[in-house]
Chains A and B, each alone.
Chain A
C-alpha cells in the first residue's frame, strides 16, 4: 500500500471502536454475550488498521504520516482541517490501547459476562467509547480535537466509575471524578482557545512554529491552564485526589483500563504540550522544573500513601500516582535517556499495572473481600493469581530480568548526574513502592490464614489467558530492552525531543524524525546496586508496615495526618485543585 493510502487509514482505529460502541447496546438486545463479541471484533478492526500504520511509522528511524480529515489539507502552508497524525509516540500509545484494551475486554467478559443483556450492552458501549477516545487522543495533532477526546474519555469514565449504581461508593467516586475532571476540562478548553486567539493555530505543529517566533504572557497563561488540566487526568499531585476513589469503586477490568491506559492520556498530552508544542527549552519559564517537582512529589507521596492503604485496589491506585510522577520526571529531563526511559516506562507501567489490577479483580471476584486485613493465605488457594501478582510486583520493583528494571534504570541514569535532589526522591519513591506492594502482596497472598474463606469462586479461563499474556509481555519487555528501545521507545522519544523536525514532518505529510541512539547496558554495577538497595530498604519498611495491620505497632502520627489530609470531601479536593492552579500560574507568570 502506498504511504498516502496507509495515512488514509488513520481515522479507522478510532471509527471502529465508536461503531462497536453504537452496535453493542443493540447487540445486547439479541443475546447476552453478543456485545462482547461485537467489541472484540471492533477492537480487532482497530488493531488490524493500526498494524500497517505502525509498520510504516517504525520503518527507518521513525516516520511521521498525517491525514487531514475530509482532505482539508494545508493551503499556503496553513493547516485548515483537523489533522490526524501517526507519529512514533502516538502510534505507540494507540497500539498499546488497542492491544491491551482487547485483552481487558476479554477479562471483563469472563468477570462480568454473567450480567444481564442490557447491562452488558451499556458496559461494552462505555468501554469502547473510552478506548476510542484514548486512540483518538493518541493520533490527533489538533488541540481542540484533543480537548474533544479528553471529554469523550471523561464522559465514558464517569459512566464506568458509576456503572454499578447499587454500590454507594461507586456513586461517590463518580461524583468526585465528575467535579475534578470537569474543571480540568474547562481549563484545557480555555487554554486551547487562548492559544488559537494568539496565533490562529490549532494544529500542534503549526502552533509550535508560531510559538517559535516569541512567547507572550497570554501564551504562558494558556500553557498553565492546559498544564493543570492535563495533569489532573494524569493524576499528578496536587490534582490527584479523584484517582484512588475512581479505581476503588470500579470492577477489576475497569480499574485496569483507568490505570493502565486512561491516565496516560494526561501524561502523553503533557509531554506533547511541553516538548512538542511549547518551546520549553528556549522559553520554558520554569514549566519543566514545575513538572519535575510535581512528578517527584507525586512519586514519593503516591508510594507513601500506597503503603498506608487498607484496600488492595487503593494500594495499586496510589501506586499509579507514584508511577505517573516518575513518568513526569522522565519527560521533564529533556535528555535522550530520560525521555526514552519515560516512553519505555509508559509501556511497562501499562503492562504491569494492568496485570496487577486484573489480579486484584480476580481476588475480589473469588473472595468477595477487598480489605487487606480480611484477606490472606491466597497463595495456597489461588496459586496462579498469586504467581501473576508476584510477577507484577517484581516488575514494578525493577528486578531484572523483568521490564521495570530497564525503564527505571534509564530514568535513574538520566536524573542521577543532573538533578541529585530528584534522584534521591526517585530512590525513596522506589523503596516505598517496593514496601507498599510487598506489604500488600504479603498480607493478601502469603500471610498464613487459619479460618477458611466462606465462599471461593472459581477463576475464569478468560482471566487466566489475559494474565498469562500480560505476564509474558512483562518478561519479554524486560529481556529484550534494546529491541524495545530501538524499534519503539527511542523513535517515540525522538519525536518529542526534536519538535522542529517533527513539526516539519507533520506539516509536510510524510518525513522522518532524526535517529536517537539510546541503548541500555544491562548488567551495570550502579543499576544493580540501586535495585538491591531499594529492594532491601523496601522489604525492611514493609516488615515494619505489616505490623500496623496486625496492630502490633501504631501508625506514626505524621503518616496518619497525611491520610487525614485526604478527607474524602469533594470541597477539599477542589481546594487542592485551586492551590495547584494558583501555584502553576504563579510559577509561569511571575
Chain B
C-alpha cells in the first residue's frame, strides 16, 4: 500500500504549492513551504520501503535471523533514510532563516501582507 504514501506526498506538495500561490500572508507562505518540505520527507521515507522488509538495524535482529542474513536480505534502504535526515536538517536551517526574514519584514513594514512588500518590480 506504499502507493498511498506517494499519493499523500504528491497531495501535500500540491497543497503547499497552492498555499504559496494563493496566500498573501507571509507566515502562511512559510507554512506552505514547510508543507512542501514535509511532503519530500514522506516521499523519501516511502521510497526507501521494500515489500515485507524490516528496519535496516543489524543489532538484535528479529527471531530466527542473523545480522548477516539481514545485511544481505530484505531491509529498507538506509541510504534514502539518511537523505531524509539530511533534508530535515537543511529544512530546519532554511525555515529558521525564513522566519527571521519574516520577523524583520514585520518590524519594518508593520504588516505581513506580501502585497504591501513589493517595491521591487518590473
- The residues of A with any CB-CB pair to B shorter than 8 Å are 144, 148, 151, 154-155, 158-159, 162, 165, 168-169, 171-176, 178-179, 182-183, 185-186, 189-190, 193-194, 196-197, 202, 244-245, 248-249, 305, 308-309, 563-564, 566-571, 574-575, 578
Contacts and interface: CB of A to CB of B under 8 A. Distances in A.
**Chain B binding surface, main DSSP class:** helix
Interface string B84-122: 001100100110011001101100110000110111111
A169 B80 contact: no
B122 A165 contact: no
B22 interface: yes
Contacts of B3: none
Nearest first, the 8 A-B pairs at minimum CB distance are: A568-B121, A568-B118, A563-B122, A245-B120, A574-B20, A197-B47, A168-B108, A151-B90
A178 B21 contact: no
A244 B121 CA distance: 9
Contacts of B26: 175
Contacts of B98: 175, 178, 182
A194 B102 CA distance: 33
Given A172-B118, A563-B122, A190 B101 contact: no
Interface string B40-65: 10011001000000000000000000
Given A144-B83, A165-B104, A186 B120 contact: no
Nearest to B115: A569
A196 B117 contact: no
A179 B29 contact: yes
Nearest to B94: A182
A186 B20 contact: no
B74 to A, nearest CB: 15
Contacts of B108: 168, 171
Given A172-B117, A568-B120, A570-B114, 20 more contacts: A151-B90, A168-B117, A171-B108, A175-B26, A175-B98, A175-B117, A182-B94, A189-B83, A194-B47, A196-B80, A305-B122, A563-B122, A564-B122, A567-B118, A568-B118, A568-B122, A569-B115, A570-B29, A578-B17, A578-B21
Contacts of B47: 193-194, 197
B37 A175 contact: no
B58 to A, nearest CB: 17
Contact of A249 (B29, B83, B120): B120
A564 B119 CA distance: 13
Contact of A155 (B29, B40, B94): B94
Interface residues of B, number: 41
Nearest to A202: B79
A283 B84 CA distance: 30
A57 B41 CA distance: 39
Contacts of B44: 190, 193
Contact of A186 (B40, B83, B86, B114): B40
A148 B33 contact: no
A578 B22 CA distance: 12
A574 B17 contact: yes
B36 A186 contact: yes
Contacts of B121: 563, 566-568
Contact of A172 (B21, B43, B87, B119): B119
A570 B120 CA distance: 11
B122 A308 contact: yes
Given A168-B108, A578-B21, A178 B114 contact: no
B80 A171 contact: no
Nearest to A175: B101
A248 B117 contact: no
A519 B79 CA distance: 46
8 contacts: A151-B90, A155-B97, A179-B33, A183-B17, A186-B37, A190-B43, A564-B122, A567-B121
Counting chain B CB atoms within 10 Å of each CB, which of A158, A182, A194, A566 scores highest? Answer: A182
Nearest to B97: A158
Given A168-B109, A178-B101, A571-B20, A173 B40 contact: no
Contacts of B79: 196, 202
A190 B114 CA distance: 28
Contacts of B80: 193, 196-197
A165 B109 CA distance: 12
A144 B84 CA distance: 11
Contacts of A193: 43-44, 47, 80, 83
Contacts of A186: 13, 36-37, 40
Given A151-B90, A159-B97, A165-B104, A189 B122 contact: no
Interface in B7-51: 13, 17, 20-24, 26, 29, 33, 36-37, 40, 43-44, 47
A578 to B, nearest CB: 6
A522 B22 CA distance: 53
Contact of B97 (A178, A571, A578): A178
A564 B121 CA distance: 8
Contacts of B104: 162, 165, 171
Contacts of B94: 151, 154-155, 158, 178, 182, 185
B120 A169 contact: yes
A569 B21 CA distance: 10
B20 A162 contact: no
Counting chain A CB atoms within 10 Å of each CB, which of B22, B119, B122 scores highest? Answer: B122
Contacts of A162: 101, 104
B101 A169 contact: no
Contacts of B17: 183, 574, 578
B113 to A, nearest CB: 10
A245 B97 CA distance: 18
A275 to B, nearest CB: 25
A231 to B, nearest CB: 17
